[in-house]
Chain A
Amino acid sequence: MSKHDEEGIKCVVWDLDNTLWDGVLVESGALTLKPEIARIIRVLDERGILQSVASKNNFDDAAAKLRELGLWEYFLYPEIHWGAKSESIARIQKVLNIGMNTILFVDDDPFERDEVAKANPDVNVAHADSYATLLEDRRMIPRFITADSARRRQMYREDEQRKRAEETFDGPKETFLSGLGMRFKIAEAQGDDLARAAELTVRTHQLNATGRTYSYDELDALRRSDSHKLYICEMTDVYGSYGKIGLSLVERTESAWYVRLLLMSCRVMSRGVGTVLLGFLMQEAKRAGVRLFADFVPTDRNRAMYVAFKFNGFRDVGDGDTGARVLEANLEQIQNFPGYIEVVTP
């Protein structure tokens, strides 16, 4: 278990003219891709690093060119228009729901890099000339490559479809959610879940009770110990799988259980499943006749988790011996699972 170290890059946002290709699209149709850049884009994609575009161009022309080059599919939520790039980056950050400090913006134009960096001080910027070294950049080498990383772009693509369907859906939100056919499966983590579990502890910040990170080996030892349970959650719906998106580590004694780790991916934050995992732990504790406590370590980004605990009836009972606040559940009042989610428990 360790504190968070430097965060890697989760999304590279590319300029197009004189960055991705040599030349300016509105001036000439004859453009050539920068050497090796298609391969670099593919490798970043395989590593689970998302990519998007912030370019001042006509959307249809740029999209057609990228399709012709076979690269269009790699870019999520591309921002191609004549507006300020700082705002393009801000929109990409918001829609992907990732930290600004995990975005790298690549552009050949110093004016654009400055404009973006001034408006969003946390964003990383790089000169287009440095693209050839991107794959060796430490921030671009994830500590884990899991089944979920390789599928990450596809999962965000499915999210894009869900969002579009949700925006155009005319009716109550719950009716929309019911139509998604969500299935939330809670299981004890197996050996082949551990790389993803370790990755989740590193990548998740908003719905994360402690921010503690664990290595594969630490999780494996805890999973096998008699005094701990490690739960991992997967969610699927009609659009596909969100992947493994939730994790909880529970230390169990005869009279009380202690939630040492509880986290949920930001991609499911608007789905109400944080409450499902909490509710499951509360039900299990009640059935076992034990008290249920949870550690909470405040960070600058995890207030949503604290709100979730409090709104699910936990109360703050003081300082823990591990430097955390300790919350205790009220097991007399456990919220039901939302009717629109089919919950599968171990």
Chain B
Amino acid sequence: MVTVESIRSFIRENMVSNHRNAALGDDDDIFKLGFVSSMTALKLVNFVETECGVTVDNDDLDVSTFSTVNRIVAFIERKLGTTLSR
């Protein structure tokens, strides 16, 4: 089962360019922190779908839904109707 920590580590590994040093806060905007290519953006959406079992509809595809760890978690929890373990 997906946890908040697994989302955090996916983001750290794939999205934030300075992942080795940068302390990623759960409210930090990953699109402002660094480089997000079309490939990484698609990877993030695929991660949410395959690892978290959530269908991302076209209407859900919004930068504000995916911009921070907390927002991604909130989105997944809303879709699944459960609370992820912290």
Chain A residues within an 8 Å CB radius of B37:
269-272, 274-275
Of A171, A172, A275, A304, which contacts B42 at CB under 8 A?
A304
Across the interface, B38 reaches (CB within 8 A) one of A174, A269, A338, A340, namely A269
Interface size on B, residues (CB 8 A): 22
| Assembled-state Cα–Cα distance A271/B41 (Å) | 12
The answer to whether B35 touches A338 (Cβ under 8 A) is yes
Docked complex Cα distance between A278 and B37 (Å): 12
The answer, yes or no, to whether B20 is at the interface (CB within 8 Å) is yes
Nearest-CB distance from B57 to chain A (Å)? 11
Set of chain B residues within 8 Å of A4, measured between Cβ atoms: none
Interface size band for A = 20 to 34
B75: interface (CB < 8 Å): no
A164 interface hit (Cβ, 8 Å):
no
Cα separation A319 to B41 with both chains bound (whole Å) = 25
- A95: interface (CB < 8 Å): no
- A270–B19 Cα distance when bound, in Å, is 17
Query: Cβ of A177: which chain B residues have Cβ within 8 Å of it?
Result: 35
Give A28 to B63 CA distance when docked, in angstroms: 60
The distance from the CB of A112 to the nearest CB of chain B, in whole angstroms, is: 31
Q: How far is the CB of B47 from chain A (nearest CB, A)?
A: 12
State whether A307 and B45 are in contact (beta carbons under 8 Å apart), knowing that A172-B18, A271-B37 are contacts in the complex.
yes
Report the Cα distance A172→B35, complex, angstroms: 10
A310 touches B62 (CB 8 A): yes
CB pair A174 B41 closer than 8 Å: no
Q: Give the docked Cα–Cα distance between A174 and B40 (Å).
A: 14
A306 to B62, CA, bound (A): 10
In the complex, A305 has a CB within 8 A of chain B: yes
Chain B residue contacts of A303, Cβ below 8 A: 42, 45
Question: What 3 A-B pairs have minimum CB-CB distances, sorted nearest first?
Answer: A310-B61, A272-B37, A174-B17
Supply 12 A–B pairs (Cβ within 8 Å), ascending by A: A172-B19, A172-B21, A174-B35, A207-B38, A272-B36, A272-B37, A303-B42, A304-B42, A305-B38, A307-B61, A311-B66, A316-B59
B-contacting residues of A (Cβ < 8 Å)?
A: 171-174, 177, 207, 264, 269-272, 274-275, 303-308, 310-313, 316, 335, 338, 340
